[in-house]
Amino acid sequence: MRFGDNITLNGRFLFKDCINLESLAIGHSSNISGDNCFNGLRNLQRIQFAPNTTFSGYYLFSECDSIKEVIIPDNCTINGDFFFRKCLQLERIVIGNNVVIQGNKCFYQCSNAKSITIGNNVTISGLKFMEGCFRNKNIELTIGFGYIGNPIEIPIPIVRIKKFQNVKDTLRYEAKECTISMEKFEDESQVIVLECGHVFLFEPLLEWLKRKKTCAICRQKI
């Protein structure tokens, strides 16, 4: 199924439980509104959104069991709880630049996620965003600059720890000591390199993150 550009769909339960729908494309600058739209599409395998699309309503695309990849393009707005809730086969989530998501439990309990990318200047105003997505300890997570919203609850076990000797030649900034603990880096030191490029000793950084969800040097949100 394909919708063109500048389409407006308004109504509750639109396409709910259409179990034979396998592919969906929504064009540029479209507006989708209404609770339970596209909810329970058990066999939906391919989905394509265009930039500047607006989604409003509860349970949009919730429990779409077969979808494995969701890409939210730039400048989209999502307003409503449970957006892509419990999509249990969802492996890859990409959220573009300048996206606004207003709603609780969006991408909630997508427990099979393997790769999550959040672009620049993304604003999240809702509770439990992506909660339950981090059961896979090898998940790849990238968060761009300008993120605004509640900190994403990322369990400690998924943090990627590396030896300093394996990263020191690739660092964006020269580093000789951890600016949190003021301990010098040794080749065998366990370190974490943040998205902003700054590097810290593993244990001091974990203590820091219990108090602040920012880089201890540049204050970029984590």
> How many angstroms separate the CA atoms of 126 and 120, rounded?
18
Walk along the chain (222 residues) and give the pLDDT tens digit of each residue: 999 999 999 999 999 999 999 999 999 999 999 999 999 999 999 999 999 999 999 999 999 999 999 999 999 999 999 999 999 999 999 999 999 999 999 999 999 998 888 888 999 998 999 988 887 766 777 777 788 887 777 665 555 678 899 999 989 888 999 999 999 999 999 898 988 889 999 888 888 887 777 888 988 877
> How many angstroms separate the CA atoms of 39 and 43, rounded?
11
Three-state DSSP state, 191: strand
Q: Which residue has tokens 């909660």?
A: 131
- State the DSSP code for 161: -
Three-state DSSP state, 202: helix
Domain layout of the chain by residue ranges: 1-151, 159-222
- Which tokens belong to 216? 């201890």
Say what the pTM is: 0.72
Residue (of 38, 89, 91) closest to 62 by Cα position:
38
C-beta neighbour count of 77 within 10 angstroms: 17
Q: Which amino acid appears at position 40 of this protein?
A: G
- The reported pLDDT for the residue numbered 158 is 52
Give the CATH number of domain 159-222. Answer: 3.30.40.10
Strands 23-26, 46-49: parallel, antiparallel or unpaired by DSSP? parallel
Three-state DSSP state, 106: coil
Q: What is the CA radius of gyration of the chain?
A: 20
